[in-house]
Structure formats: structure tokens, C-alpha cells
Amino acid sequence: MIVGRPMSRIDGFAKVTGRARYAADQQVRGVLHAYLVMSTVARGRITAVNTAGAEAAPGVIAVFTHLNMPRLTVPAPTHGFFKRYLPMQSPDVHHQGQPVALVVARTLEEAQHAATLVEVAYDARRPQSRLEEVMNEAFVPPPGSDGPNELTRGDVAAGMAQAQVRLEAAFHTPIHHHNPIEPSATQAIWDGDRLTVFESTQSLMNTRHSLSQAFGIPLENVRVLSPFLGGGFGAKGPVWPHTILTAAVARRLRRPVKLVLSRAHTYTSNGHRAETVQSLRLGARRDGRITALEHIVTQQVSRTEQTQFNSSEPTRMLYAIPNLRSVQRVARLDLPAQSFMRSPEAVTAHALECTLDELAYELDLDPIEVRLRNHADVNPEDGRPWGSKYLRECYRIGAERFGWSRRDPRPGSMRDGDMLVGWGMATAAHTAGGRPGSGVTVTLGTDGKATVRSATQDIGTGTYTVMTQIAADVLGLPVYDVSFQLGDSDFPEAYTSGASATVPTVGSGVNLAGTRALERLMALATAAGPLQGLPAARVAAADGYLFDREQPRRRVSHRAVLRAHGRPIEVTLTPPAAPLGYSTGATFAEVRIDPRTGRVHVSRIVGVFDPGRVLNRKTLRSQAIGGAIWAIGFTLSEHTLVDPATARIVNANLSGYLVPVNADVPHIDVSFIDKPDPASAALGARGFGETPMTGVTAAIANAVFHATGRRIRTLPITQDRLL
């Protein structure tokens, strides 16, 4: 088997040598440089613009504002244009950091400088950016793509009446920004009414459809290229206005135009994880069984959209809770459109998993025991069995690897010299897949080599590598005879790289198309030559050969069969939608806290996960480590701060917004159960990328409680909150 091997990344050589060309790296002859001017007010109208100074500046080709920007159609939200309006089409301003002008010049420096010369006057209204002040205006939005926003199961009042222990807790999580190290970039090149864009996107599909709609040109006229993506984490899954505006000015100027957002621009251009207020009421019996849970999450939305992304699957799916009320509410603020960000379910999972820790203390039970007693043997959403679920094993193995049995549960009981030591744990869980299938073409050439193409993306998750492995296995070819190509919308359309959907949707496509191609090859091989007359069931393929299962020496190479055939075999298909998977795990964290400064250092993390079959241990481990480190940032340092007087983001950079650095990160012990999920059409692998960040956030917060006896329910747990 090639699948499962810890192969190094196929795109690794290009990445370590600097040869990998990301969107902003592509060399486009004659390209002009664009730079955005952003609104300084959060709510109001533009009353006047003065572009004379900018237009007179050296090198400036054109300055666009709402007065002269070409008129565009607002794309439908069905293909990821969540914002529901395009800026620079009217004088209206809906948030600070909305594009109000776009300068195009010969060089980047000229564009950047001229952007400072654009003068804009506003009729501004006082903005509202404080969630706690609009809680009474919160409402339950219509159902989104992830199900209803209000769900009741059983009878919460009756469940609460049965409870012997009742808990209430309120949590607050702040705004987070994705901050991929590559800021979004677009290079737009028109040829008549055909448009090519180099785009940093997690979704060629969304970008292509949105551009086609914005300009009213056929889908075939739009080509989107993104062979390498410098991280996205959700920021580049939707389509955002700057992409469309760049293409619009390129069309008007009849010249290719390049726009790269500044770091600060990305804070208002790419969505964010919305701030939430959460309230939980939980009832349980003394034996630890939860009898009722009410979990209400209220999050910010903007004035122009109302999609709820901090969704409540953990509350609804993770434990067998007989009486449940789960509500997702939204409240409008004068902030940019929010969106999804890595592991959206981490937000509600954090509150739930911290509350379960409180329950464990209340009942004097081990936190693992509390979770086992509420284990969901079937999917509580529909009562159907899971494809597979090895969560119990994850708890057991994780506890062993961490040394959990040596924990003294009393808060403040463990020390290392002057340092307070805390151990905490939590369950990791995230849905994966449940999205439309992705198109794939498999071509077996007369040279015996395979080319596999899909308009999918590799956002760093290892798509190039694991899809090559799947194709090689299915086709019975060595990996070096398989070339997997992505990042070009001319290939069959694939789903967004998000929602942990790439392995389920593209993996199943590669499997299915590969299987069909191999069937056709086998039909040729058994029609003539050494395997003539053999029933297909007796023929297997491996290492570039088709052979008789009963006499493996009776064989013929792929190449010989295809050469005799004289033309390639090609199969293009789109597999059925991938089923919704649920990948779980158990996570454990150790923190060390300096009681004098309140500084929390995470000193150890253990995670054991059930991702179904492991396609590539090396890349999967990296994803799991990445998730754990995101959890460190989520719990201890990341928050976007908004000035309530102006609704401006005050830390739109990487020195005021603290993502974890190398020195914040300890040894991380990751392991996998590695048993195939029979419900998966991707060789037993489930989507997994978003699971490992969940769990760890609460494990850290629970460890902080264990170390200090302080339950900090407002994130991030910064030093000031512990002192």
C-alpha cells in the first residue's frame, strides 16, 4: 500500500527552493500595480472625494472611486460571495476598512504613495461595535447550510427537573483573524472578454462563478489559477470584493493589474471569526449522566449578511444528551462581514468542554469518566450509527500517553518549584465533509503513466501528496508514474478546500475515477496478451503491472497494454456527495503558570485522534500539530480589538495580534487510531483537518483551572485575567 506511507510532500522541493509560485509571484508582462484606500469611518456615506493629488502623482495610471468604478453585478452568496454588496458601487460605507478608492500605477511604490493622496470626506454616523450592547436585538436567522439555528430535542424543563446537579455558565470569545502569512493577492488579465486570474483562493470554483456573475460573462470565459496557496484557514474560501474590483479595473484599463492586500487590509477584507457570547445551562445526575442542556450562542454579524458560522455541532452531536435546546443567534454590528475560520465548531466546543470540566468537579468524577458516561454510541442528530468511531480508545490511549492517572485533581495541588502546574483534558470533535463531490479526470497515457486532474487546491494540507498516493494505489502504479495536478479551473470543478472536505470529496473522486480507468485497462489486458481470457476478478494491479492473482508471474505492464491500445484511457467523473463525517479524539494539556506574573506556558500536549484511515502519517501529523498550536493562540493570546468609539480595528497587524511563535510551543505528542471508516469512499479516510484544534482549547483552559482554581470563561486567558 502506498496510502498510509509517511511520504514527504510532492510539492516540497518547490517549496524549500523558493520555486513554488504563489499568486503574487507569477510574472505577468506589463502588469500594473494597484493599491486600496480604505474607509476610515465605519458607518455613513461618502460626501466628497478628491483624487486630483493622487492622479497627478508620478506613475499613476488611474484612480477609481465609487464615482467611476465600472458597475458590477453582486454575485450570489451560493458561490461564496457572502458579503452581499460590492463596495465602490455607491457612496455607502458599511464598515471601517471598506475599499473607497483603488489606485493603479506603474510601480507598487507609486501606487502605495498615491493612495495616501486620495482625500475622502464622509457623512458619518456613530457606529455600534459592542456585542454586549445589542444582545437585546439578537435574532435567530433563517436556517443556513449547516442546518437549523434553533433545535429542541426532548424536554429541557423535564430534564432539568430530573437533574441532581445544575450548572450555569457564560462564556465570551473574541474576534479572531485568520492571518495566513500570504496576504490575499489577485492578478487579473483580460483577453477580450476572457478573464484569467492568478488568485490566492481556497476555492477556484467560488472565484470562477463569482467573477462570471460579476461581469456577466460565461463561466467558460473565466480561468482561475492557484497552484500554490500560502495558507487560508477560511480567509480565502469565500470570494471577497477586492478580487472583483481588481478584475474590473484591469478590464477598464485593458492592462493586467496586480493587487496584493497589505496585512492591515486583510483585517477588513477577508472575514473573521465573529465574537460570541454563550450561555449554558446543564443538568446531570450524580452518576454523571447529563439530563438536559441548553446552549445559546450569540454572535456578531454585519449589517449586510447574517450567516451563523460558529455552529453548535458539538452540543448537538458529541454527547448523548436526551433533552437539548441549542440556539444560534446573531446580532448586527458595524463591523466587516464575518465568515468561517479554521475549526468553526471550536467556539461552541470550548464552552461545552469547559462546562463538562466544571461538572466533573461538581460530581467529584474524573473528567474522562464524565465524557464516557455521556458517550454518543449513535449519532444523536438522527439516531443512525456512525460509520466508525473509536473515541473510547482515544481517551484510553491518550490518558496513558499523558500519564493522566497520576493527576491529583485538587486545584493548585501540583507544582514544579515556584510554578503552578495544571493538567486538563477535553474531547476533540469536528464534522467533516458532507459536501458535493469533486470532479476528477484520470488519464492513463500510452507511456503507462497517469495524469490526474482536479480543480481543487492544496492549502498546505497535502492535497498534492495524498491524492497522488490514492491514485497510485487505485491504479496500481508507482507514485513517480502518477502526476496529480490541481489549481486550474479548466480542470473538472471541485469543492472548496474548507469544511475538512478535500479528502472526502476529491479523495472519493480520485478513487472512483481511478477505479473506472483501471477497469477499462483490465478489459483491454484480458482481451489479448498474457492475461487473455482471465476474468477481471482474477486480475490485480500493482507497481505498474497487471497480474493474475493466482500466478503473479503471469503479468503485463500498464505501459504494454496502453501502447498496444495506441491511445490513452480517460475517465472524467464527479462522485456522489461525500457523507458527513465526524472525526473525534482526546486531547490533554499541561500548563505551567508563574503565580507572580500570571503568565501561562503550555508545556505539553497529547492528542490521540480517529481520522479513519491515515492516508499519510507525515502530513496528517503536521495538520494535527498545527491545530493544537492554533488552540494555544485561541485560548491564550489571539484577539482582535475594536475601538468602540470608531469601530476601528486597532491591532490590524502581527505585533498586536499575537499568533503563537516557536517559543510558545512545546513538544506535541500526536497519534492516530488509523482504522478505516467504512462509510468513506476515500479509501476509509475521513476529513480531519479541523478536528485537532477543537478539544485542545478547552484542555488548556481546564488545565489553567486545575493549576489555579480560577475558571476564566472569557478568552483569551491573558495575564491580567489571572492576576
Q: Annotated active-site positions, please?
A: 690
Q: Does 629 bind other proteins (CB under 8 A)?
A: yes
Q: Does 156 bind other proteins (CB under 8 A)?
A: no
- Out of other proteins, ligand FES, none, which partner does residue 659 contact, by CB within 5 to 8 A per kind? other proteins
- For ligand FES, which is the closer residue by CB, 129 or 269? 269
Which positions touch ligand FES (CB under 6 A)? Answer: 181, 231, 460
Instruction: Give how far Cα 597 sits from Cα of 594, 718, 722, Å.
Output: 6, 10, 8
- For ligand FES, which is the closer residue by CB, 181 or 663? 181
Q: Does 179 bind other proteins (CB under 8 A)?
A: yes
CB of 663 vs other proteins, minimal distance in Å = 4
- For other proteins, which is the closer residue by CB, 454 or 461? 461
Single residue of 9, 350, 559, 713 touching other proteins by CB under 8 A: 9
- For ligand FES, which is the closer residue by CB, 460 or 684? 460
CB of 165 vs ligand FES, minimal distance in Å = 44
- Out of other proteins, ligand FES, none, which partner does residue 611 contact, by CB within 5 to 8 A per kind? none
- Out of other proteins, ligand FES, none, which partner does residue 148 contact, by CB within 5 to 8 A per kind? none
From CA 494, how far away is CA 484, in angstroms rounded? Answer: 14
CB of 267 vs other proteins, minimal distance in Å = 8
Is the separation of the CB atoms in 111 and 118 below 8 Å? no
Single residue of 11, 146, 638, 690 touching other proteins by CB under 8 A: 11
398: Cα separation from own chain's centroid:
25
Angle between helices 696-708 and 617-636 (to 10 degrees): 50
From CA 229, how far away is CA 1, in angstroms rounded? Answer: 29
Is the separation of the CB atoms in 514 and 42 below 8 Å? no
| C-alpha cell, 577 | 456527495
Is 415 strand, coil or helix? strand
Single residue of 119, 393, 488, 674 touching other proteins by CB under 8 A: 119
- Out of ligand FES, other proteins, none, which partner does residue 549 contact, by CB within 5 to 8 A per kind? none
Q: Does 97 bind other proteins (CB under 8 A)?
A: yes
Q: What are phi and psi of 46, to 5 degrees?
A: -80, 130
Looking only at residues 14 through 73 of this chain, which bind other proteins when binding is defined by CB under 8 A?
14-22, 24-25, 27, 35-38, 40-41, 44, 53-54, 56-59
- Out of other proteins, ligand FES, none, which partner does residue 97 contact, by CB within 5 to 8 A per kind? other proteins
From CA 683, how far away is CA 603, in angstroms rounded? Answer: 36
Sign of CA dihedral 582, 583, 586, 589: negative
| Amino acid identity at 120 | V
Phi-psi region of 4 (alpha: psi -120 to 50; beta: other; left: phi over 0): left
From CA 184, how far away is CA 687, in angstroms rounded? Answer: 25
Which stretches does DSSP call E strand in 302-455? 324-332, 414-416, 419-433, 440-444, 450-453
- For ligand FES, which is the closer residue by CB, 110 or 182? 182
Q: Using alpha carbons only, what angle is made at residue 701 by residues 699 and 706, rounded to the nearest 5 degrees?
A: 90
Single residue of 253, 264, 542, 641 touching other proteins by CB under 8 A: 264
Order of strands, sheet of 276-284, starting from the edge strand that comes earlier in the sequence: 150-153, 324-332, 290-301, 276-284, 165-173
Q: Which stretch binds other proteins (CB under 8 A): 137-145, 212-220, 263-271, 696-704?
A: 263-271
- Out of ligand FES, other proteins, none, which partner does residue 8 contact, by CB within 5 to 8 A per kind? other proteins
- Out of ligand FES, other proteins, none, which partner does residue 41 contact, by CB within 5 to 8 A per kind? other proteins
Q: Which residue is nearest to ligand FES (CB)?
A: 181
Single residue of 226, 299, 310, 461 touching other proteins by CB under 8 A: 461
Burial (0-12, 13-18, 19+ Cβ within 10 Å), 720: exposed
